[in-house]
């Protein structure tokens, strides 16, 4: 059973526009959420995280929003840059468990 879902396998946006990547989870025990970014032939790298006690966390061009009641989080990238083209994995952790989504491939067109 997939406890963390990223329903959009791919997303294409124009350079300078906003990219919004979505993630849903089912396990209410999850209390910490992370986004990882992965380039081809490399391992995932940590991007940004958020605790369940917050509903927003910002780091430069990247903002993560958490809606606990909907069990939904999203990653906003503003403005998007061609170097942001990568696969983005959402992860949720809690109760000594961590689960990843299937990933969303973001393409930012110049």
Interface residues toward another protein, by CB under 8 A: 2, 4, 6, 31-32, 34, 36, 41-46, 49, 51, 89, 91, 93-103
Smallest distance from the beta carbon of 15 to another protein, in angstroms? 27
| 79 vs 94, beta carbon nearer another protein | 94
Ramachandran region, residue 16 (left: φ > 0; alpha: ψ -120 to 50; beta: rest): left
Written as six digits, the tokens of 64 are 């993560």
| For another protein, the closer CB: 15 or 38 | 38
Neighbours of 35 (CB within 10 A): 22
Contact 58, 7 (CB under 8 A): no
Smallest separation (angstroms) from another protein to the CB of 79: 26
> With respect to another protein, which residue has the nearer C-beta, 15 or 49?
49
Report the sign of the C-alpha dihedral through residues 9, 88, 53, 17, in that order: negative
Residue closer to another protein (CB basis): 12 or 95 = 95
On whether the CB atoms of residues 25 and 15 are closer than 8 A, the answer is: no
Q: Closest distance between another protein and the C-beta of residue 36, in Å? A: 8
């Amino acid at each position: 059973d997939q406890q963390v879902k990223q329903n959009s396998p791919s997303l294409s946006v124009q350079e300078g526009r906003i990219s919004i990547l979505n993630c849903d989870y089912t396990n209410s025990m999850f209390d910490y959420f992370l986004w990882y970014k992965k380039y081809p032939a490399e391992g995932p790298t940590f991007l940004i995280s958020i605790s369940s006690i917050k509903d927003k966390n910002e780091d430069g061009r990247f903002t993560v929003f958490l809606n606990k009641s909907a069990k939904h989080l999203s990653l906003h990238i503003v403005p998007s840059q061609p170097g942001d083209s990568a696969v983005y994995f959402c992860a949720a952790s809690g109760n000594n468990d961590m689960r990843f989504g299937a990933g969303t491939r973001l393409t930012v067109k110049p």
